[in-house]
Every structure is written in C-alpha cells, then in structure tokens.
Amino acid sequence: CPCCASPRMMPRWPVLLFLAWVSLLFAAGLGLFLSGFLLTRAELPQRSSCAEPPGPGPGPWPWRGQRPPRSCWLPRRFARALLVLIDALRFDFAAAAAARGRPRHYHGKLGVLRQLAAAQPRHGRLYRFRADAPTATMQRIKGLTTGSLPTFVDVGSNFASYAIREDNLLAQLVHNGRRVVFMGDDTWEGLFPKMFHRSYFFPSFNVKDLHTVDNGILQHLYSTVDGGEWDLLIAHFLGVDHCGHKHGPDHPEMAKKLLQMNEMLRTLVERLGNDTLLVVAGDHGMTDTGDHGGDSEKEVNAALFVYSKTPLFGTDPPEEPEVVPQVNLVPTLALLLGVPIPYSSIGEVMAELFATDGDAVSAALQQLDVYHINANQVDRFLRSYSLVAQDLPTEELQQLQDIFSSAVEEHAQLVAHVQEEKPSSPELQARLGRLLGRFQRYLREARAVCARSWARFRPLRMVAGCALIAASCLLCYVASALPAAPDSFYRSCLLAPLLWGLAAALLLGLACAVMQEGLDLLVVSSWAAAVSQVAFFWRWWGRQPKRAHSASSHPPVASISLRQRLQACPALAFPMGILLFRCGAMFSDSFVVAEARVVPFLLASLVALLVGKLHWDGRLTVPEGPRQQLLSSSSYRKESWHLLYLVAALLLCVRLSAAFHQCREESPQCRPSLFLAPLAGLRDARAKNLFYLACVAALVALVCAVRRWLRHCGNLNGSEPAVLFVRWGFPLLAVFVACYWAVASSAEDSLGKLQELVHVALVAFPWAVYGLVGAGLLLVLCKPVTVFAKDTRETAGPIVTPYLGVASSEVDFLHVIPQIYRRMQESLKSHLERGGCGAAVAAYGLGSVYSAALVIALTLLAFLLLLLHSERLSLAFLLLFLEAFVLLHIHARARSLAGDPFSVPWYAVISWLLAASQFFYSTGHQPIFPAIHWNAAFVGFHLDHSTNLLPALLVGANTFASHILFAVGCPLLLLWPFVCEAPSTQRRKARKEPREELHEEEEHMMEMRLREAPDRFSAALLQLGLKCLFVLGMQQLVLAGMLMVPHCACWARRFLFEALGFVVSSVCLLLGILLVMRVDCAVSAWFSRLQLR
C-alpha cells in the first residue's frame, strides 16, 4: 500500500523554501525600487517663536531704530501681502512671446506683468520660480508654506488627514495675531483646518471644470481686498491648470484663461495699497500635454512676480530673469511681514528685497543682517533634524557646519569693526561682499544637501528594482512551467542559487567590513537576490539544451509535444489576455480610478470565456453517438447545466458586490455605499434594528454554511478538538460578534450607570473574539485532523455503508457521505486478515481533511476581520465566501470536464486573484489614504495605544482583509477538484449497488490521491504558489514600470497599496501552504497511530 504503509512524506521543505526564496526575491526588488522612488523625510514638531530668534540677537544698527510694531526677529517692511497663486503658471506664460517660431496660444497674454516690470523697474520684477519634484499641487502647497521639500510620504504625518503639522508660514502669521484670508482651491481646507480668518473654498477635483473656482474667487476678491480685513490674502486660481489638463497649454481656451488672469491682475494692481506686497506665483509648470508631477524642465519652471507701490529694489533688474527656488519665498515673505521664519524652512531669503534705502554699504549691512538670521535658522533646523533622522549624510553636514561657523566668526569680527568706526571705506565694502557670498554659499549648499536626499529620485535603484521584479516574474513563470518534475530538480535549482546568494551576501558584507563603510542591508540583499537569480537561470539553461537534445533524438515525441504545445496555446492565451488587460488597465489614470468596476468586469469576462471555451471544445455536450450526429443536434450533460447555474450565481455575486463600494475623491458625483457607515451613526431606530438583524443573519448564515459544508464532507463527526471547536466555538464566536455590534451600535443611547458597563463590554467582547480566534487557530495548527475513525474489527465483512456509525443521527443520509478511505481499509483488512481476523476501519472525512482545516482556518480569520469592519460589511463578507465557493466549484467542474487535476490552470489562479482585488473594493476600500478605515485600530481598545505596532496591524488587517482571505485560501484551488470529484457518482452508486462499491475504489480517494503521490502533490503546491506570485508580481512590475516614466507620480499611492498588498498576500500564501503541510504531517501521524492500534 503506497500511502498508509509508506510513511513517505511529501518533500515539504524544498517547496516552502522555494516559495519563501521567490517571495524574498520579489521583496528585495520592491524594497530596492521603493528606496529609489519613495522620497521620505522626517517632520519636526518644533515651531519658531517670536521671542527666541535663532543665534545671537541682531546688532545695533541705525536702520533698526524705527522698529515698527508687531515685528519679530527683524522689522517688517510690509503690513500685508497679497499672494495670487495661479496653478500651473509656467514661466513662458508670463514671459514675452519668443521672437522666433510659431506664436503659441499661451504667449504674451499676461501683458500686465511685463508692462509693470518695464515701466517701474524698481517696483516689480519677474523671476523664474523653480519648483521641486514632485510637482503635484498638494506637495507644492506644502512647500510654499513650510519652506521645505515635502515628499510623498512625510514620516510622522497623520495619514488620516492631510493637515500640515509642521511649522509653516500661515501658522506663524496666525500665531502672531495676523489675519489670513483664503479663497480658491479647497485643498487648502484640508491642509490648514481652522486657520483662516475668512475663507471661500471651491471644489477642485473636477478637472473638466475650468471656471467654478476662478469665477468664485473673482466674486469675492475685489470686495475683500477693498474691505481691508486681512494681513495675508491668498487667492489660488485653478483655471489655468485645469485648462492644461483638459486641452493642453496650446489651445484657444488657454489664451482666454490667461487673458482673464491678466485682467484680474490689472484690477488688483489698481486697488493695491502702498503698504501691500503683491506676489503672483505659479506653483509648478506643465508639460506640453498639460500634465505635471515629474521633474522635467517645463514642469519645474514656474513664474514669480513681485510688485509693490513703494519701491522694492535698490538696483535695476538683470538682463535675464533670475532663478528663485520655490522654498525661498517662505523666509522672504516671513521676514518682510515681520514674523519668524518657519522652523523647518530651508530657503534662502531673496536679499534684494531687503535693501532699498541708503548707499551701497548700508544696503549690504541690511542684507547681511537678514542673511545672518536666515543662516542661523537653517543651522538650527539642520541640527535638530540630524538628531531625529539620519538620512542626511554626516560628512556633508560637517562641511556645512564648517562654512557656517567660519561665516559667523567673520560676521562677529565685522560687527565689532563696524561698531568701532563709521564704515564707508571700499575695503569694508569688499569685506561685506565676501561675507554675503559666504552666507549665500552656506544657504545654497544646505538646500542642495537636503534636496539631494529628499527631492531626488534615484533612477539607478528604480531601474535595478524593476529589473529584479521582472526577473523574479520570469523565474516564477519558468519554474511553474517546468514539468511536475522530481524534487531533485527543485533541489538542484534551489540549493545552488541559495548558496550562491548567501555567498554573495557574505562577500559583500565582508567587503563592507573591510572597507569600513556603512552596511546597506537593502543593497546587500538585492545583490544576493540578483546573484541567486543568475544562478537559477544558469542551472535552468544548463538543463534546457539537454532536454532539447533528448527530444530531437526522438522525433515523434517532439512533434507530439509541439502539437500539444500549439494546442495548449489558446488555453493559455485567454487567461493571459485577461491578465494583460488587467495590467494594461493600470497604464491609464482613468482606469486606475475606475478599477473597482474594471476588476469585476474582467472576472466575469474570464469566467464567461472559460465556459465558452469549454463549450467550443464540446466538453459540455453529451458525447455524440452516431444517431445524434444524424439529427445534427447535441444537448448538454447534466453537469454542464450545473456549471451554467454556477456561472449565473457568480455573475450575481459580482453584481451584488458592487453595492459595497467606497468613493474616490476624483469622482465628486459618487455617493459612498450606505453599508460603510457604522450602525451607531444611524438615526432611524427601526432601520437600525433591521440592519442589525440582517447583519446577524449574515453571521448565522456564514456559520451554518460552513458547518453544513463540513458535515457534508464528513468532517464534523467524532470528538476531535477541532471538530468540537467548530461545533461550539463557531456559534459562540458569532454570539460574541453580535453582542459587540449590539453594544457598539447603541453605545451612545445608554444611560448613567449602564455607561460603564457598556465601556467594559466594548473592550471585553472584541477581546473574547480575539482570544477565541487565536485559540481556534492554534487548535487547527496543533490538531488539524478532523477525521472520525470508526473501528469495526469485529465485523466480518469489509463493507461500510453510509448508514453505519453516523455520528449525528439527525442528519439525513444524503448529506452524510462518509468519505471512506478504501485503499487503507483494504490494506488494513489484508494486514489483519493475515493476522487472522477480518476488520475494517471507516474513516469519516478523511477525503477532505486538508480542505476542512483550511476552511476552518478561513472562517476563523473571517470572524476576526469581520469584527474589524463596520457591521454592515458582514454582508460583503458573506458574499465573499459565497463567491469564493462558487468560483471553486466552477473550477472543480471545469477540471472534472477537462484536464489533469494535479495542476492548477492559469485561469483559476487569475480569477482567484481577480476576486481578491474585487473584494478589496467590495469591502469598502480604495487605494487612497483617506479611505482607510481608521476605526479598526480601536476595536477592543479605548483610544490608548502604547505602541504603533498594534494599531498598524489592525488597520492593515482591515485594509487587506480580502487579500488575506484569498491568499490563505489559495491551496483550495488545488484541493477542491479532489473534494468535489466523489459525491455525485458515489451517492448514486452507494444507493443502488452498495456491493459494487469496491469497483469504484478510485472514485472515493478524493484528497487522499494527493497523499498517494507526495511528489506530485508538493510539485502542484509549488506550482500553484509560483503562479500566484507570478500574477501578483506582474501587477507590481507594471506599476513600477509606470512610475519610472516621468509625470506618473499620481500612481504612487496606488503602488504603495499594491506593494503592501503584495507583501501581505505572499506571506499569507506561504501560511496557507504551511497549513496544508502541517495537515499532511498530522495525517501521516494519524496513519501511523492507526497502524499501531
């Protein structure tokens, strides 16, 4: 007997090791890519204050004598400022038309700026305003107010809201009692909540709408300016940006828009007071197609125009407009308005704005003062930053420190010198000039150092990461296409690469140690991954020619295999085509936005294609007899109709799941599903009760369905601990969850003394669920065998009928199909007969022992994840289980109609993973930060978390709930065809002719067939895992590839979610396979115990 007698285990460790290795390869590639792509930066909580200027206080120069009221650090020059932000105002929109070339629609439309600059060269000036990457509006607004270089992920920021926590210009103004008035883009509302004295927000997400924001601003702008109740007025116009997005820059609409802006500026200038500074700025530019986000020349090149009715500049403007980095505006505005420079600003003041009156020396002295304060502030920031984060290189910081201290020393000497004698000598002027140059150099280099580590992508790392991911995908594909080969191959293809990789890692580590450089773990691991991949491909290539050679020596074999391969081509082409569509859909921003609807569409298409293919191949029809051929008609088999019903059920599930979608901010007309809000927020008591009942019904249905299925498979017999847990633990869990919902949804209504009780219950019920789920999972891991063995040694005959020994008598026999492991029984019988007596062992549920353990584990996980979601999403979870069940059944039917059950075909894997991402959306998620369900962090906790780890885990489990469930359930794809093969035939046979059952032996094997061929089992598991990783990896690859192209920064958030989802999925996939192996172990132990008996 091959299985019970032989304790030959399936090769477990190579499989797990191989999968873990491939996952690590992907992880290394992802990590490398992310380290090159994700700009990160730490946010500092400190704020500058008026009373504590950085460095020593200012010197006693005469021009400080008339210190105006309400000035910090330095006397202010302007009482108020008017900041007109024109979104995406590229420099050449403001400049004069080029002399050569075709006139563009955007040329020469902002005439007022040029006229002012030409007519009053000391009053106004045009600059090139250099934005930093990423040139997305939100990041630019942050940069324009904090004076820093914001990144995609500012570490330390609160993801739940976009509000700026760092010190910024607006906060400083408000803190020092100034009034800030805002009108325009409503992004500012989220960034600066409750900071404005008065505000007029207009919706900004609809990029098709060119006029709402601008006209709204114009309605209020002039009256507000005339009203005078403001110290800083910001008007953020969006029309130009939206026009660029909609039509591109070179379009008549753009000309109209710019002329409108021109008119607006002309009117504003007429109404400007003498003490007011007008700043017109673009936050970024745009490409020739009207996009922005990357760091190309046209995107970063914006315009800045400064004007005032009083003379601003001491000198005439240079020929070519100067280049001003965007961060420079913040310290300049702050000091001009007499407020402290924000703490984290790394900008350099625009010194020419601070030197107006007097001769050259006094102007230089004024500038020196400004630079001194500015340099001290930047130095203070760099010092506190390097205490918090280590991403700025130390040696460069040291160099900066040297420049700074020498400049400060020189400054002190100069101050002493000036105080001694009245300065007017040319020698002094030269010294002043040199010192100014030093301060300038310090500030510029400081900004450059910060920009190098914060605002620059590292393309080499990105390319290398992409290459690693691509190679891993190829590896997955190649390895999964290998024949279900003996494990020797896997061993040789696994061990050598692993050893090579380890050797490479060691060598690199040693090299680093010898060179005494800092060890970058990421670089080392990716080198190791690359080396091990090369080793794998080397091995694989080494085997390839041999196979080809051996094939050519047997021409008929080769031709057959070739034909088979050609025939297999369309079978592969359909699912791969769908995968291609799925990946291709990520190339377009609109498809990323609409992904929640695209994925179900593709899933339905894939399943319809599968059925169509089966039909086309004639697998669904009754095999034609000669008579039927004459009639030229064919009809479906009974099983085929089942398959069609299942497809209909799947389509229904897909349709229903659309009811649980969350909205994205890009589609303002969308309303989020009403199932997403917690029940506690519902006012109508009757509706609340009804919904509550529906949720509880969903819970009950889930428990009943799972128990019924297990009973159907015969896994609910006997008194194994896991069986007992399913019997009693599941209902208990459901009761706990229902109680928690009841308490949580009516927590606000409770009165007085009950309040305390409610608070206790709010914590106790979730903890009870956590505990029970944990215990259940442990139990499944320790004793996963849910087999009930009925020993019938005394009976003479080996026949076991379904009526015999039914553990729960209330079950009608249609549903108790005792899964009998005949082969074992036979062998035992012969074994015992040799010993002198006839006996048999009936094992209930042995045929589905693997899948039963997985189903139990999945249900437990589902309870846990249900608890983390809002109540009404339990319906979505019920739908998830239903759809997974239907998908598995479709797969099993399709397998039974065609194909080798030991390999999971591509369509099954792809549809399974499509369903996973479908339910990511259908459990109310979207890959954007505001859509994350933060409430999940407080299920079972009362707003007090000592560490960040636990809430992160809870929120992560909530967000990736469907990824977790589908990844853990992935091995079911392999097991299900075996589980489903028996019942239909066996039931009939068992009823009609129980005596003939012996002939049907093969039919009843079910999952034990897998055990019988341990090599094939392990190979199939490995292939399944590799296919999953391939499909997941392809999506990563496409997204990563997209991000390499400039202007695609908007994919960043999507990619972050995808990458996290990938990590979660691969870990869960490994766990699922591990569970299957654990069951295999336990089954072996069970057999050996049985034999001992």
Partner 1 sequence: MSEAGVRRLCAANLLRGCSVLLAATAPRFFLDGFSVLGTPLTWLCACSVSVSALSVVLNAALGPSPPPRRGSLAHKVGFLKCCMYFLMSFGRAFLSLNTFLFAVLLSTFTTLQCLCVLGPNIQAWIRVFSKNGAMSIWDNNLQITTVCSVLGAWFGAFPIPLDWDRPWQVWPISCSLGATFGYLAGLIIAPLWIHWNRKQLTYKSR
Applying CB under 8 A, the residues found at the interface with partner 1 are: 208, 246, 588-591, 593-594, 597-598, 601, 605, 615-618, 621, 629-636
Minimum Å gap between C-beta 881 and partner 1 is 25
Rounded to a whole number of angstroms, the minimum distance from the CB of residue 586 to partner 1 is: 12
Contact 330, 147 (CB under 8 A): yes
C-beta of 1022: minimal distance to partner 1 in Å? 33
Instruction: In whole angstroms, give the CA distance from residue 453 to residue 24.
Output: 27
Of residues 198 and 246, the one with the C-beta less far from partner 1: 246
Residue 717 contacts residue 844 (beta carbons within 8 Å): yes
In the complex with partner 1, the residue whose CB is nearer, 482 or 652, is 652
Residue placing its CB nearer to partner 1 in the complex, 393 or 584: 584
User: How far does the chain reach from its first CA to its final CA, in angstroms?
Assistant: 17
Shortest distance in whole angstroms from residue 1057 CB to partner 1: 19
Instruction: Indicate the residue among 163 and 594 with the shorter CB distance to partner 1.
Output: 594
Comparison of 250 and 275: residue with beta carbon closer to partner 1: 250
User: Cα–Cα distance between 436 and 367 in angstroms, integer?
Assistant: 8
CB count, 10 Å around CB of 568? 11
Tell whether the torsion through CA atoms of 393, 396, 398 and 401 is positive or negative. negative
Q: Which two tokens stand for residue 258?
A: 């710019």
Q: Which is nearer to partner 1, 407 or 598 (CB)?
A: 598
- C-alpha–C-alpha distance, residues 536 and 111, integer Å: 65
Q: Which is nearer to partner 1, 177 or 626 (CB)?
A: 626
- CB of residue 1035 to partner 1, shortest distance in Å: 18
Q: Shortest Cβ distance from residue 256 to partner 1 (Å)? A: 18
Q: Are 596 and 926 in contact (CB under 8 A)?
A: yes
CA 438, 442, 448, 452 torsion: positive or negative? positive
Using alpha carbons, select from 699, 864, 858 the residue that is nearest to residue 780.
858
What's the closest the beta carbon of residue 212 comes to partner 1, in angstroms?
16
DSSP 610-658: HHHHHHHTT-SBPPPPHHHHHHT---B-HHHHHHHHHHHHHHHHHHHHG
Q: How far is the CB of 629 from partner 1 (least distance, A)?
A: 7
Return the number of the residue (197 or 246) whose C-beta is nearest partner 1. 246
User: Least Å distance between CB 93 and partner 1?
Assistant: 23
User: For residues 566 and 630, which CB has a smaller minimum distance to partner 1 in the complex?
Assistant: 630
Nearer to partner 1, 202 or 601 (CB): 601
Q: Write the single-letter amino acid at 109.
A: K
**Cα dihedral sign for 895, 897, 899, 901?**
positive
As measured in angstroms, the least distance from the Cβ of 255 to partner 1 is: 20
Measured from the CB atom, the residue of 747 and 897 that comes closer to partner 1 is 897
In the bound state with partner 1, the residue whose beta carbon lies nearer, of 207 and 496, is 207
**Shortest spacing between CB 90 and partner 1, in angstroms:** 22
Is the omega angle on the peptide bond into residue 14 within 30 degrees of 0, that is, cis? Answer: no
Query: With respect to partner 1, which residue has the nearer C-beta, 586 or 964?
Result: 586
CA angle 893, 595, 583 (to 5 degrees): 75
522-523-527-533 Cα dihedral, nearest 10 degrees: 40
- Residue whose CB is less far from partner 1, 444 or 563: 563
Query: Which residue, 253 or 391, is less far from partner 1 as judged by CB?
Result: 253
Token pair listed for 343? 């703490």
Q: Given the DSSP bridges, would you call strands 180-185 and 232-237 parallel, antiparallel or unpaired?
A: parallel
Q: Closest approach of Cβ 621 to partner 1, in Å?
A: 6
E strands, 812-921, where? 841-844
Contact between 980 and 892 under an 8 Å Cβ cutoff? The reply is yes
Query: Tokens for 83?
Result: 């900041």
Sign of the torsion angle spanned by Cα atoms 465, 469, 474, 479: positive
CB 618, min distance to partner 1, A: 5
Q: Please check whether residue 361 is in contact with residue 429, taking contact to mean a CB–CB distance below 8 angstroms.
A: yes
Minimum CB separation of residue 959 from partner 1 in Å reads: 23
Q: What is the dihedral of CA 462, 463, 464, 470, to 10 degrees?
A: 110
Q: How far is the CB of 632 from partner 1 (least distance, A)?
A: 6
**What values do phi and psi take at 622, rounded to 5?**
-65, 135
Q: Which residues contact 60 (CB under 8 A, 6 or more apart)?
A: 419
- With contact defined as beta carbons under 8 Å apart, do 759 and 752 qualify? no
The string of DSSP codes covering 951-995 is HHHHHHHHHTHHHHHHHHTTTHHHHHHHHHHSHHHHHHHHHH-GG
The residue among 605 and 801 lying less far from partner 1, judged by its C-beta, is: 605
302: DSSP letter? E
User: Is the CB of 477 or the CB of 591 nearer to partner 1?
Assistant: 591
Report CA torsion sign: 600, 606, 607, 612: positive
Find the shortest distance in angstroms from Cβ 635 to partner 1. Answer: 5
Q: State how far Cα 743 lies from the chain centre.
A: 33
Residue type, 527: W
Distance from C-alpha of 973 to C-alpha of 558, rounded to nearest angstrom: 31
Residue among 210 and 524 whose Cβ is closer to partner 1: 210
* Cα–Cα dist 872/891, whole Å: 30
In the bound complex, what is the minimum distance in angstroms from residue 205's beta carbon to partner 1?
A: 12
Q: Please report how close the Cβ of residue 207 comes to partner 1 at its closest, in angstroms.
A: 8
Give the 3-state secondary structure of residue 425.
coil
Angle between helices 849-868 and 874-897 (to 10 degrees): 150
- Nearest-5° Cα angle at 10, 5 to 13: 145
Distances (CA, A) of 456 to 134, 182, 671, 952: 9, 31, 38, 28
